[in-house]
Structure 1
Amino acid sequence: MKKIRLKDKEFELFIPENDIRDAIRRMANQIEADVKGTDPLFVGILNGAFMFVSELMSFLDGPYELTFARYSSYRGTSTTGMVNEIMPIRVDIKDRPLILLEDIIDTGYTMQFVMNKLREQGASSVKLATMLFKPAALKCDLKPDYVGLQIPNDFIVGHGLDYDEAGRAFRDIYKVIY
Protein backbone atom coordinates (compact mmCIF):
# COMPACT_ATOMS: atom_id res chain seq x y z
CA MET A 1 0.00 0.00 0.00
CA LYS A 2 1.38 3.39 -1.01
CA LYS A 3 2.00 5.72 1.97
CA ILE A 4 3.04 9.34 2.52
CA ARG A 5 4.07 11.37 5.57
CA LEU A 6 2.99 14.97 6.18
CA LYS A 7 4.31 16.72 9.28
CA ASP A 8 3.36 14.50 12.24
CA LYS A 9 0.91 12.22 10.40
CA GLU A 10 1.13 9.21 8.10
CA PHE A 11 -1.39 8.60 5.31
CA GLU A 12 -2.19 5.63 3.05
CA LEU A 13 -3.55 5.59 -0.49
CA PHE A 14 -7.35 5.88 -0.42
CA ILE A 15 -8.63 6.99 -3.86
CA PRO A 16 -6.42 6.74 -6.97
CA GLU A 17 -6.35 9.64 -9.42
CA ASN A 18 -8.15 7.66 -12.17
CA ASP A 19 -11.16 7.01 -9.90
CA ILE A 20 -11.31 10.71 -9.02
CA ARG A 21 -11.19 11.77 -12.68
CA ASP A 22 -13.93 9.26 -13.64
CA ALA A 23 -16.19 10.63 -10.88
CA ILE A 24 -15.56 14.23 -12.00
CA ARG A 25 -16.28 13.32 -15.64
CA ARG A 26 -19.63 11.74 -14.63
CA MET A 27 -20.50 14.84 -12.61
CA ALA A 28 -19.58 17.13 -15.51
CA ASN A 29 -21.91 15.21 -17.83
CA GLN A 30 -24.78 15.60 -15.35
CA ILE A 31 -24.09 19.32 -14.83
CA GLU A 32 -23.83 19.97 -18.56
CA ALA A 33 -27.21 18.31 -19.16
CA ASP A 34 -28.77 20.36 -16.34
CA VAL A 35 -27.39 23.78 -17.38
CA LYS A 36 -28.17 23.50 -21.09
CA GLY A 37 -29.74 26.76 -22.27
CA THR A 38 -28.77 28.72 -19.14
CA ASP A 39 -25.85 31.01 -18.31
CA PRO A 40 -24.56 29.76 -14.96
CA LEU A 41 -21.69 31.33 -13.07
CA PHE A 42 -19.35 28.66 -11.72
CA VAL A 43 -17.67 29.61 -8.44
CA GLY A 44 -14.59 27.64 -7.41
CA ILE A 45 -14.03 27.62 -3.66
CA LEU A 46 -10.33 28.07 -2.88
CA ASN A 47 -7.92 26.76 -1.87
CA GLY A 48 -8.91 23.12 -1.82
CA ALA A 49 -11.04 22.95 -4.96
CA PHE A 50 -8.44 24.22 -7.44
CA MET A 51 -7.66 20.78 -8.93
CA PHE A 52 -11.32 19.74 -8.97
CA VAL A 53 -12.37 23.01 -10.63
CA SER A 54 -9.71 22.70 -13.32
CA GLU A 55 -10.70 19.14 -14.19
CA LEU A 56 -14.44 19.75 -14.06
CA MET A 57 -14.22 22.82 -16.30
CA SER A 58 -12.07 20.93 -18.83
CA PHE A 59 -14.78 18.26 -19.06
CA LEU A 60 -17.53 20.90 -19.48
CA ASP A 61 -15.61 22.54 -22.33
CA GLY A 62 -18.08 25.36 -22.92
CA PRO A 63 -18.38 29.14 -22.84
CA TYR A 64 -19.07 29.14 -19.11
CA GLU A 65 -18.03 31.95 -16.79
CA LEU A 66 -15.84 30.97 -13.85
CA THR A 67 -14.79 32.96 -10.80
CA PHE A 68 -13.33 32.12 -7.42
CA ALA A 69 -14.02 32.82 -3.76
CA ARG A 70 -12.29 31.76 -0.59
CA TYR A 71 -13.74 30.90 2.80
CA SER A 72 -12.10 29.24 5.75
CA SER A 73 -13.34 27.37 8.80
CA TYR A 74 -10.57 24.82 9.39
CA ARG A 75 -7.38 24.76 11.40
CA GLY A 76 -5.36 21.55 11.29
CA THR A 77 -7.72 18.56 11.12
CA SER A 78 -10.85 20.16 12.59
CA THR A 79 -13.30 22.97 11.99
CA THR A 80 -13.24 26.11 14.08
CA GLY A 81 -17.02 26.46 13.75
CA MET A 82 -16.68 30.00 12.36
CA VAL A 83 -16.68 30.86 8.64
CA ASN A 84 -14.28 33.57 7.50
CA GLU A 85 -14.73 35.17 4.08
CA ILE A 86 -11.18 35.65 2.84
CA MET A 87 -11.88 36.46 -0.83
CA PRO A 88 -15.48 37.34 -1.84
CA ILE A 89 -16.96 36.76 -5.28
CA ARG A 90 -16.05 39.79 -7.38
CA VAL A 91 -18.62 39.27 -10.12
CA ASP A 92 -22.21 40.54 -10.15
CA ILE A 93 -24.36 37.58 -9.09
CA LYS A 94 -27.75 39.31 -9.07
CA ASP A 95 -30.33 37.20 -10.93
CA ARG A 96 -27.67 34.66 -12.00
CA PRO A 97 -27.76 30.91 -11.42
CA LEU A 98 -24.65 29.89 -9.48
CA ILE A 99 -22.95 26.53 -9.18
CA LEU A 100 -20.48 26.37 -6.29
CA LEU A 101 -17.56 24.00 -6.84
CA GLU A 102 -16.22 22.64 -3.54
CA ASP A 103 -13.57 20.01 -2.85
CA ILE A 104 -15.26 18.30 0.10
CA ILE A 105 -18.41 18.57 2.22
CA ASP A 106 -18.10 17.25 5.73
CA THR A 107 -19.90 19.23 8.46
CA GLY A 108 -21.56 21.36 5.75
CA TYR A 109 -21.47 24.54 7.83
CA THR A 110 -19.23 26.52 5.47
CA MET A 111 -21.27 25.78 2.34
CA GLN A 112 -24.57 26.33 4.15
CA PHE A 113 -23.30 29.77 5.23
CA VAL A 114 -22.03 30.61 1.73
CA MET A 115 -25.16 29.42 -0.09
CA ASN A 116 -27.47 31.40 2.23
CA LYS A 117 -25.31 34.51 1.81
CA LEU A 118 -25.36 34.26 -2.00
CA ARG A 119 -29.15 33.80 -2.06
CA GLU A 120 -29.48 36.91 0.13
CA GLN A 121 -27.25 38.79 -2.34
CA GLY A 122 -29.68 38.06 -5.17
CA ALA A 123 -28.49 34.93 -7.00
CA SER A 124 -31.45 33.42 -8.88
CA SER A 125 -30.39 29.94 -7.71
CA VAL A 126 -27.43 28.38 -5.93
CA LYS A 127 -26.41 24.77 -6.55
CA LEU A 128 -23.55 22.87 -5.01
CA ALA A 129 -21.15 20.47 -6.72
CA THR A 130 -18.61 18.68 -4.52
CA MET A 131 -15.83 16.33 -5.48
CA LEU A 132 -16.19 14.46 -2.17
CA PHE A 133 -19.04 14.14 0.32
CA LYS A 134 -18.91 12.73 3.87
CA PRO A 135 -22.57 12.15 4.79
CA ALA A 136 -21.62 10.74 8.22
CA ALA A 137 -19.92 14.05 9.13
CA LEU A 138 -22.79 16.31 8.01
CA LYS A 139 -24.11 18.46 10.87
CA CYS A 140 -26.60 20.72 9.10
CA ASP A 141 -29.42 20.66 6.57
CA LEU A 142 -27.39 20.64 3.35
CA LYS A 143 -27.78 18.44 0.30
CA PRO A 144 -25.23 18.78 -2.51
CA ASP A 145 -26.77 18.83 -5.99
CA TYR A 146 -23.81 17.03 -7.56
CA VAL A 147 -21.48 14.58 -5.80
CA GLY A 148 -18.37 12.99 -7.26
CA LEU A 149 -17.72 10.38 -4.56
CA GLN A 150 -19.28 9.64 -1.16
CA ILE A 151 -16.64 8.69 1.39
CA PRO A 152 -16.48 7.72 5.07
CA ASN A 153 -15.56 10.24 7.74
CA ASP A 154 -11.77 9.83 7.48
CA PHE A 155 -9.30 12.73 7.40
CA ILE A 156 -7.88 12.90 3.87
CA VAL A 157 -5.30 14.82 1.85
CA GLY A 158 -4.28 15.15 -1.78
CA HIS A 159 -5.95 16.29 -4.97
CA GLY A 160 -6.30 19.80 -3.52
CA LEU A 161 -7.03 18.77 0.08
CA ASP A 162 -4.47 19.64 2.73
CA TYR A 163 -3.21 19.07 6.23
CA ASP A 164 -2.10 22.49 7.51
CA GLU A 165 -1.46 23.55 3.86
CA ALA A 166 0.66 20.45 3.08
CA GLY A 167 -0.24 17.69 0.64
CA ARG A 168 -2.50 19.53 -1.84
CA ALA A 169 -0.41 18.63 -4.91
CA PHE A 170 -0.72 14.84 -4.66
CA ARG A 171 -2.81 13.54 -7.56
CA ASP A 172 -4.22 10.65 -5.51
CA ILE A 173 -6.15 11.01 -2.24
CA TYR A 174 -4.72 9.58 0.97
CA LYS A 175 -6.38 8.92 4.33
CA VAL A 176 -4.76 9.34 7.72
CA ILE A 177 -3.51 6.23 9.51
CA TYR A 178 -4.48 6.34 13.19
Structure 2
Amino acid sequence: MRIEIDEKVFDVMLEYEQIKKRIRLIGIQLNVDFENRIPVFVGVLNGSFIFLADLIKEIDISSEVTFVKVSSYDGEKSTGKIKKEIGLQMSLKDRDVVIVEDIVDSGETLRYILDMIRAEEPASINVCTLLLKPKSLKTNFEEICYVGFEIPNEFVVGYGLDYNGLGRNLKDIYRAVPKSEL
Protein backbone atom coordinates (compact mmCIF):
# COMPACT_ATOMS: atom_id res chain seq x y z
CA MET A 1 0.00 0.00 0.00
CA ARG A 2 1.31 3.44 -0.93
CA ILE A 3 0.74 6.60 1.06
CA GLU A 4 1.79 10.19 0.62
CA ILE A 5 3.10 12.43 3.39
CA ASP A 6 4.04 16.03 2.70
CA GLU A 7 4.34 15.30 -1.04
CA LYS A 8 6.62 12.27 -0.48
CA VAL A 9 5.52 8.73 -1.42
CA PHE A 10 5.99 5.74 0.92
CA ASP A 11 5.44 1.96 0.65
CA VAL A 12 4.77 -0.44 3.54
CA MET A 13 7.98 -1.99 4.87
CA LEU A 14 6.84 -3.60 8.15
CA GLU A 15 3.25 -4.29 9.12
CA TYR A 16 2.02 -3.71 12.65
CA GLU A 17 1.43 -7.44 13.26
CA GLN A 18 5.11 -8.17 12.49
CA ILE A 19 6.17 -5.34 14.78
CA LYS A 20 3.96 -6.58 17.65
CA LYS A 21 5.33 -10.14 17.39
CA ARG A 22 8.91 -8.94 17.46
CA ILE A 23 8.25 -6.65 20.43
CA ARG A 24 6.72 -9.57 22.33
CA LEU A 25 9.93 -11.57 21.77
CA ILE A 26 12.14 -8.67 22.85
CA GLY A 27 10.01 -8.28 25.99
CA ILE A 28 10.46 -11.95 26.86
CA GLN A 29 14.23 -11.63 26.47
CA LEU A 30 14.35 -8.48 28.62
CA ASN A 31 12.30 -10.22 31.34
CA VAL A 32 14.83 -13.07 31.38
CA ASP A 33 17.93 -10.88 31.18
CA PHE A 34 16.83 -8.51 33.95
CA GLU A 35 15.16 -11.02 36.25
CA ASN A 36 15.69 -10.02 39.91
CA ARG A 37 16.83 -6.52 38.85
CA ILE A 38 14.90 -3.30 38.39
CA PRO A 39 16.00 -1.72 35.11
CA VAL A 40 15.32 1.86 34.09
CA PHE A 41 14.03 2.15 30.53
CA VAL A 42 15.19 5.46 29.03
CA GLY A 43 13.03 6.31 26.03
CA VAL A 44 14.53 8.64 23.45
CA LEU A 45 11.85 11.10 22.37
CA ASN A 46 10.04 11.71 20.18
CA GLY A 47 10.41 8.64 18.00
CA SER A 48 10.52 5.89 20.64
CA PHE A 49 7.31 6.71 22.49
CA ILE A 50 5.07 4.21 20.65
CA PHE A 51 7.71 1.46 20.66
CA LEU A 52 8.42 1.98 24.37
CA ALA A 53 4.70 2.03 25.22
CA ASP A 54 4.18 -1.33 23.47
CA LEU A 55 7.43 -2.77 24.83
CA ILE A 56 6.73 -1.89 28.46
CA LYS A 57 3.41 -3.77 28.23
CA GLU A 58 5.49 -6.93 27.61
CA ILE A 59 7.72 -6.34 30.66
CA ASP A 60 6.67 -8.41 33.68
CA ILE A 61 9.55 -7.52 35.98
CA SER A 62 9.69 -4.40 38.15
CA SER A 63 11.03 -1.47 36.15
CA GLU A 64 11.01 2.29 35.82
CA VAL A 65 10.63 4.53 32.78
CA THR A 66 12.07 7.95 32.02
CA PHE A 67 12.73 9.95 28.88
CA VAL A 68 15.33 12.12 27.22
CA LYS A 69 14.85 14.20 24.12
CA VAL A 70 17.55 15.04 21.63
CA SER A 71 17.25 16.20 18.06
CA SER A 72 19.47 16.09 15.01
CA TYR A 73 17.12 15.61 12.06
CA ASP A 74 15.80 18.10 9.57
CA GLY A 75 13.38 16.30 7.23
CA GLU A 76 15.13 13.15 5.97
CA LYS A 77 18.70 14.10 6.83
CA SER A 78 20.61 14.40 10.06
CA THR A 79 22.05 17.85 10.59
CA GLY A 80 25.07 16.29 12.30
CA LYS A 81 24.51 18.56 15.30
CA ILE A 82 22.83 16.98 18.30
CA LYS A 83 20.83 19.19 20.61
CA LYS A 84 19.66 18.10 24.07
CA GLU A 85 16.08 19.27 24.54
CA ILE A 86 15.13 17.28 27.67
CA GLY A 87 17.84 15.83 29.89
CA LEU A 88 17.69 13.02 32.40
CA GLN A 89 15.03 13.47 35.05
CA MET A 90 16.43 10.96 37.56
CA SER A 91 19.74 9.63 38.83
CA LEU A 92 20.98 6.53 37.04
CA LYS A 93 23.91 5.90 39.37
CA ASP A 94 24.37 2.16 39.97
CA ARG A 95 21.21 1.38 37.97
CA ASP A 96 20.71 -1.06 35.10
CA VAL A 97 19.78 1.14 32.14
CA VAL A 98 18.06 0.12 28.92
CA ILE A 99 18.08 2.88 26.32
CA VAL A 100 15.04 2.51 24.05
CA GLU A 101 15.49 3.93 20.54
CA ASP A 102 13.16 3.93 17.57
CA ILE A 103 16.03 3.70 15.08
CA VAL A 104 19.81 3.61 15.11
CA ASP A 105 21.06 5.06 11.86
CA SER A 106 24.56 6.60 11.81
CA GLY A 107 24.88 6.16 15.58
CA GLU A 108 25.73 9.81 16.26
CA THR A 109 22.65 10.37 18.44
CA LEU A 110 23.21 7.08 20.26
CA ARG A 111 26.84 8.00 20.99
CA TYR A 112 25.66 11.32 22.46
CA ILE A 113 23.07 9.59 24.66
CA LEU A 114 25.51 6.90 25.77
CA ASP A 115 27.99 9.60 26.85
CA MET A 116 25.21 11.39 28.78
CA ILE A 117 24.23 8.17 30.57
CA ARG A 118 27.81 6.97 31.23
CA ALA A 119 28.39 10.24 33.09
CA GLU A 120 25.72 9.06 35.55
CA GLU A 121 27.82 5.95 36.44
CA PRO A 122 25.13 3.28 35.90
CA ALA A 123 25.70 -0.38 36.78
CA SER A 124 25.04 -1.38 33.16
CA ILE A 125 23.88 0.09 29.87
CA ASN A 126 22.04 -1.83 27.16
CA VAL A 127 20.41 -0.48 24.02
CA CYS A 128 17.11 -1.72 22.64
CA THR A 129 16.24 -0.38 19.21
CA LEU A 130 13.25 -1.17 17.06
CA LEU A 131 15.17 -0.52 13.83
CA LEU A 132 18.86 -0.76 13.03
CA LYS A 133 20.54 0.32 9.80
CA PRO A 134 23.81 -1.64 9.96
CA LYS A 135 25.16 -0.19 6.70
CA SER A 136 24.70 3.37 8.01
CA LEU A 137 26.50 2.87 11.32
CA LYS A 138 29.72 4.85 11.66
CA THR A 139 30.63 3.05 14.91
CA ASN A 140 29.89 -0.41 16.27
CA PHE A 141 28.20 -0.34 19.66
CA GLU A 142 28.60 -3.30 22.00
CA GLU A 143 25.68 -1.87 24.01
CA ILE A 144 23.16 -2.68 21.24
CA CYS A 145 21.75 -5.92 22.62
CA TYR A 146 18.13 -5.91 21.45
CA VAL A 147 17.17 -5.21 17.84
CA GLY A 148 13.69 -5.45 16.41
CA PHE A 149 14.58 -5.35 12.72
CA GLU A 150 17.67 -4.65 10.64
CA ILE A 151 16.68 -2.56 7.66
CA PRO A 152 18.43 -1.20 4.57
CA ASN A 153 19.67 2.37 4.43
CA GLU A 154 16.28 3.81 3.48
CA PHE A 155 14.25 6.62 5.00
CA VAL A 156 11.34 5.26 7.02
CA VAL A 157 8.24 6.70 8.67
CA GLY A 158 5.44 5.44 10.91
CA TYR A 159 5.12 3.75 14.29
CA GLY A 160 6.63 6.79 16.00
CA LEU A 161 9.01 7.82 13.22
CA ASP A 162 8.18 11.00 11.36
CA TYR A 163 8.78 12.96 8.19
CA ASN A 164 8.67 16.70 8.87
CA GLY A 165 6.66 15.99 12.03
CA LEU A 166 4.06 13.89 10.21
CA GLY A 167 3.40 10.14 10.10
CA ARG A 168 4.23 9.16 13.69
CA ASN A 169 0.66 7.93 14.15
CA LEU A 170 0.84 5.30 11.38
CA LYS A 171 0.61 1.74 12.73
CA ASP A 172 2.88 0.26 10.05
CA ILE A 173 6.40 1.33 9.08
CA TYR A 174 6.80 2.69 5.57
CA ARG A 175 9.88 3.26 3.41
CA ALA A 176 10.32 6.28 1.17
CA VAL A 177 9.88 5.33 -2.48
CA PRO A 178 12.80 6.56 -4.61
CA LYS A 179 11.82 8.79 -7.50
CA SER A 180 13.11 6.13 -9.90
CA GLU A 181 10.34 3.76 -8.67
CA LEU A 182 7.46 6.22 -9.03
Contact 1:105 / 1:132 at 8 angstroms: preserved in 2?
yes
- Mean Cα displacement is larger for which, 50-59 or 121-130? 121-130
Deviation of residue 62 (structure 1)?
Answer: 3.5
Q: How many residues align?
A: 177
Separation in 1, partners of 2:55, 2:40 = 14
Cα distance in structure 1, aligned partners of 2:137 and 2:52: 22
Native 8 Å contact 1:119 1:125 kept in 2: no
* Alignment root-mean-square deviation, CA: 1.0
Alpha-carbon shift at residue 63 of structure 1 (Å): 2.6
Q: What's the CA shift for 1:61? A: 3.3
Q: 1:18-77: CA deviations, max 9, x gaps?
A: 001111111111111100111211111110011100110001134311111111111110
Identical positions, percent: 36
Give the letter aligned to residue 39 of structure 1.
Answer: I
Aligned pairs for 1:23-172 within 5 A: 23-143=22-142, 144-172=144-172
Unaligned runs of 5+ in 2: none
The letter for the 1-side match of 2:14 is I
Q: How far 1:106 moved relative to its partner? A: 0.7
TM-score by length of 1: 0.96
AA of the residue aligned to 2:96: P
Instruction: Tell me the distance in 2 between the aligned counterparts of 1:158 and 1:165.
Output: 11
TM-score relative to the length of structure 2: 0.94
**Partner letter of residue 154 of structure 2?**
D
Residue 8 of structure 1 and its aligned partner are, at CA, apart by 2.2
Runs of 4+ in 1 over 3 A off after TM superposition: none
Structure 1 residues not aligned, in runs of 5+:
none
